[in-house]
Amino acid sequence: MAAAAVAADSKIDNLRDAVAKLGEISENEKSGFISLVSRYLSGEAEQIEWSKIQTPTDEVVVPYDTLAPPPEDLDAMKALLDKLVVLKLNGGLGTTMGCTGPKSVIEVRNGFTFLDLIVIQIESLNKKYGCSVPLLLMNSFNTHDDTQKIVEKYSNSNIEIHTFNQSQYPRIVTEDFLPLPSKGQTGKDGWYPPGHGDVFPSLNNSGKLDTLLSQGKEYVFVANSDNLGAIVDISNHHRDTKPPDH
């Protein structure tokens, strides 16, 4: 066991030195990547024992029909919505659907794309309550450039649209456990976006979190960009429920 730990530490040291020389990513991304790989090598990223997984109780996942109703007063509803941000995960490509661009720009119905319908949903919310719910799009390096061009079409909408990128991590070569970009593979194939779990550190690292907090935002609604059923549905539950102590 001790020998395995020494081998893992040696791998991490060599990987850290190689990653430190990569100029394409930030120090936060380098740190996050090394932390993720260290966790994997330490054995913390163990497989889930599905036999131990149980259905959440009603205290954990509260039944929808028991939720506290939204405020009836329109001013109170506006005040609540003005604290909200809608964040859509927009880093995926539509490769499984036969497309090469961002999944969110795939046409869904009558010429409208996923992103068109998301904008319409939030426009309707802002118009109905006179609020200012912004839309955040978390892109990846695969979708960033295309998305920046696409959002220009919504410049006349009543929505403030922000974009930021999730982290960019290097792929590792199995033989020597070193990053592929350090071997001259500087194209996109040498990198990968680490997934949806990266949303919170990326929101912080991008500076968007500080911006939103300065605007009085307190709540964030997170969903995939191709999940049109995930819409804002206000309840007093989240406001009236105290977070757990741990």
Report the pLDDT value the prediction gives residue 177, as an integer from 0 to 100. 92
Q: Number of helices (H) and strands (E), helices first, in the chain?
A: 8, 10
Pick from 173-177, 204-208, 231-235: least confident:
231-235
CA dihedral for 231, 232, 233, 239, sign (positive or negative): positive
Q: In the prediction, which pLDDT does 246 show?
A: 45
The residue ranges of every structural domain in the chain are 67-240
What's the average model confidence in pLDDT over 108-118? 90
Dump pLDDT digits (tens) for 209-222: 999 999 999 999 99
Q: Decide if 157 contacts 125 (C-beta within 8 A).
A: no
Query: What is 67-240's CATH number, 3.90.550.10, 2.40.50.100, 3.30.930.10, 1.10.599.10?
Result: 3.90.550.10
The tokens of 119 are what? 């904008």
**pLDDT-based confidence at 106, cuts 50/70/90?**
confident
Give the integer Cα–Cα distance in Å for 231 and 224.
Answer: 11
Residue 207's pLDDT is 93
Model confidence at 99: pLDDT above 60: yes
